[in-house]
Amino acid sequence: MTIHHHPSDALLLDYASGALGEAWSLAVATHLAFCPSCRAMVGQLESIGAGMLDSVDLAPLSDKTFEAVMSRLETGTIEPALPAPLAPVKPSANGLPQPLRRYAENARGEIAWQRLGLGASQCLLSTGDVGVTARLLRIPAGKPVPEHTHGGLELTLVLSGAFSDQLGRYQAGDFQEADEGLEHQPHAESGADCICLAVTDAPLRFKSLAARIAQPFLGI
């Protein structure tokens, strides 16, 4: 599997430092189950963070902390002893890796899909984050999502199938970060439904009147 789209360095640093909420962490952790290079990066960040805590007195983080950590990684001024990278666990019958499986599957290993219309489905995931929604989305093969912008941040991780939009093609393991500046219309490729994990902190802003009318009932 070749992964072309990864979480930003800033997002990986927030994950490694424990600064992300549960839903955002779920998206990053599930990507790590697919991506050995990001697992290695998180291992380095965790190792650097532990070394910095051991060597300095605790103090409030400055605005330059992120730049300092990334600079040390890029210049090779330190070579942290890396822990063994986490090995991805074999996916379930639904193709879901850990840690997503325990959020999305019931005791019988089933996903409770809810119809959204036009063949699309969702499964809402319960997390402890207030004001943040995590869901599985299943887009029918060959079909588009209604064109939309974003009221906040949206993280999308492809679990199976693939979609394309203005930013490129995304297949299993690929990760997209979208904000208010992106207007797009993801289109699932033919041949297989596209199943994604999506995390948002604000409703989508659909351009279609029909989608806007249905939105309150669908919770998207």
Domain residue spans in the chain?
9-75, 101-218
Alpha helix positions (H), the chain = 9-17, 22-34, 36-55, 65-75, 101-104, 209-218
In the block, residue with structure tokens 């119809």: 115
Interatomic CA distance for residues 82 and 38, integer angstroms: 13
Confidence band, pLDDT 50/70/90 cuts, at residue 10: very high
pTM of the model: 0.77
Q: Lowest mean pLDDT of 2-11, 51-60, 96-105, 153-162, name the range.
A: 51-60
- Please check the confidence at residue 217 and state whether its pLDDT lies above 80: no
User: So what's the pLDDT on residue 85?
Assistant: 42
Number of helices followed by number of strands (H, E) in the chain: 6, 11
Interatomic CA distance for residues 26 and 175, integer angstroms: 12
Interatomic CA distance for residues 134 and 53, integer angstroms: 32
φ, ψ of residue 26 to 5 degrees: the values are -60, -40
Amino acid at 160: S
CATH topology agreement for domains 9-75 and 101-218: no
CATH topology assigned to domain 9-75: Arc Repressor Mutant, subunit A (1.10.10)
User: So what's the pLDDT on residue 60?
Assistant: 60
Confidence band, pLDDT 50/70/90 cuts, at residue 79: very low
- Please check the confidence at residue 40 and state whether its pLDDT lies above 70: yes
Percent of the chain residues past pLDDT 70, beyond the cut: 71
- Please check the confidence at residue 83 and state whether its pLDDT lies above 50: no
CATH number for the segment(s) 101-218: 2.60.120.10
The CA-CA-CA angle for residues 86, 97, 136, to 5°, reads: 135
Interatomic CA distance for residues 189 and 101, integer angstroms: 24
